[in-house]
Amino acid sequence: MTVTRSDYDDAALRAWWEDAYSSSSLRCDTLFQSLAWNRNWYEHFVRDDPRRELYLLKIESDREIIAVAPMFLQIRSAGPLTAWRYLLFLGDRLAQYTDLITLQAETAPLWHAILQYLEAELPGSWIELHDVLPASTARQADMQAEKTRGETYLRIPLAKLDSTRLPDHCVPHMRREILRARKTFSADSSWRWEAVSAPGEDLVSALMDLNRARFGEASWFAEKLHRDFFNALSGDAGEELLFTVLRHNDDIAHVMVSYTHGTSMLYVLSGMDERFRKYSPGSMNLDRSICHAAEHGYTYFDFLRGDEKYKQEFRPEQRTSEHWTLQSGGPGLRYRIARTAQNLRRGEGERTTA
């Protein structure tokens, strides 16, 4: 088994990746494993950043590609010198379910090969994995890792749900909210709902405008670079980008964005026109979006990372991720310096907010 560093000009790698992804049989199988997602994230957040380098690791057995690790090297400097460096998955912290691109049932050998590559090619560095879930490929490998608690992930199993059963699946407050929203929708023919795959530029722009109007500087779309990335992804993701849109007459009252691939519908973010807040358009849209996922054969409606109250009211399945730090050897000097600096920054932040 060999590990080599490649890039997006590698035609054989791109062809293998597209075929593996289109099979819908990857070990971790979401839009976050697509070539479109990873290439666009690289082009917007890595390529022009002098502190980052692409590490697209191609893993081969008998000269056949069996896996890709889409990573980047994060470089931290002290003046003109490199203080330390470490590998992360492309999309780190933004993408959820970051993992190897592979069809292999046994993934432990892949991770051991990556660590051997790390020791040979990037001595003194390490790998940060920020979303290790129970089904992550790294779980198979018996690797020494520094582990800390991660985030809560929530998703609704859909096998036994439909529009009739969904209200009773929820806690009483959400049950009342859904039934009230359905009554509001049915009583006024001005309300319309639709699911739009491969949305056009006008709808994408409307989402970003509504999200920014609602959240201001806290909106993810407040930065132009983020808007540019999402516009590019919207053009490349095709029908796997799903907008569920609630309109009142010709006005968009609420819009939700989901990524669809494999067995899950991943709810990413939304936008709302505050003029319609009194009608609870978010509940109206969320109800219909979950029912849409069930009707179209998805196994889960996935809320992704975060344990907000409204998510908990759907009585979802809960999983907890872990943060792992992988090293090829014992903790080196640069790693100890990095951790000391990190702890000092964390302590300074706690004193500032106290």
What CATH number did the domain enclosing 342 receive? 3.40.630
pLDDT tens-place string over residues 215-258: 999 999 999 999 999 999 999 999 999 999 999 999 999 999 99
One domain for residues 54 and 138 = yes
Residue 350 pLDDT more than 60? no
What pLDDT was estimated at residue 83? 77
- 276 within domain boundaries: yes
Q: For residue 309, what are its two tokens? A: 């109250």
One domain for residues 347 and 315 = no
Q: Name the nearest CA neighbour of 305 among 54, 30, 52.
A: 30
Give me the CATH number covering residue 163.
Answer: 3.40.630.30
One domain for residues 159 and 75 = no
Q: How far apart are CA 31 and CA 21, in angstroms?
A: 9
One domain for residues 21 and 127 = yes
Q: How far apart are CA 73 and CA 40, in angstroms?
A: 17
Window from 141-145, 256-260, 295-299, 309-313 with minimum mean pLDDT: 141-145
Contacts 24+ apart (CB under 8 A), 345-351: none
> What percent of the chain stands above pLDDT 70?
92
One domain for residues 282 and 331 = no
- 32 within domain boundaries: yes
What pLDDT was estimated at residue 343? 61
- 139 within domain boundaries: yes
DSSP, collapsed to helix, strand or coil, labels residue 198 as coil
- 165 within domain boundaries: yes
One domain for residues 176 and 310 = yes
Judging by beta carbons within 10 Å of its beta carbon (0-12, 13-18, 19+), is residue 297 exposed, middle or buried?
exposed
pLDDT tens-place string over residues 15-37: 999 999 999 999 999 999 999 99
One domain for residues 346 and 217 = no
Confidence of residue 337 (pLDDT cuts 50, 70, 90): low
Dihedral sign of CA atoms 161, 164, 165, 167 in order: positive
**Which one is predicted more confidently, 263 or 333?**
263
Give residue 213's Cα distance to chain centre: 23
265 neighbors 242 (Cβ within 8 angstroms): yes
pLDDT tens-place string over residues 60-105: 999 999 999 999 999 987 777 677 899 999 999 899 999 999 999 9
64 neighbors 133 (Cβ within 8 angstroms): no
27 neighbors 137 (Cβ within 8 angstroms): yes
Residue 220 has, within 13 A of its CA and on its CB side, a CA count of: 11
Window from 152-161, 206-215, 344-353 with minimum mean pLDDT: 344-353
- 87 within domain boundaries: yes
Q: How far apart are CA 225 and CA 222, in angstroms?
A: 9
The residue behind tokens 């407050």 is 173
Q: Quote the domain boundaries for residue 171.
A: 154-319
> What percent of the chain stands above pLDDT 90?
85
210 neighbors 252 (Cβ within 8 angstroms): yes
End-to-end CA distance of the chain: 52
One domain for residues 349 and 229 = no
One domain for residues 311 and 334 = no
Q: How far apart are CA 253 and CA 282, in angstroms?
A: 9
Residue 348 pLDDT more than 60? no
Residue 347 pLDDT more than 60? no
Per DSSP, the residues of 238-269 read GGGEEEEEEEETTEEEEEEEEEEETTEEEEEE
Domain total of the chain: 2
Residue range 182-187: mean pLDDT, rounded = 97
Amino acid (1-letter code) at residue 48? D
- 208 within domain boundaries: yes
One domain for residues 132 and 189 = no
Alpha-carbon distance values, 141 to 102, 165, 280 (Å)? 15, 40, 46
One domain for residues 132 and 270 = no
Confidence of residue 124 (pLDDT cuts 50, 70, 90): confident
- 149 within domain boundaries: no
Mean pLDDT for the chain? 92
One domain for residues 234 and 331 = no
Alpha-carbon distance values, 179 to 105, 163, 191, 286 (Å)? 44, 11, 16, 12
What pLDDT was estimated at residue 77? 79
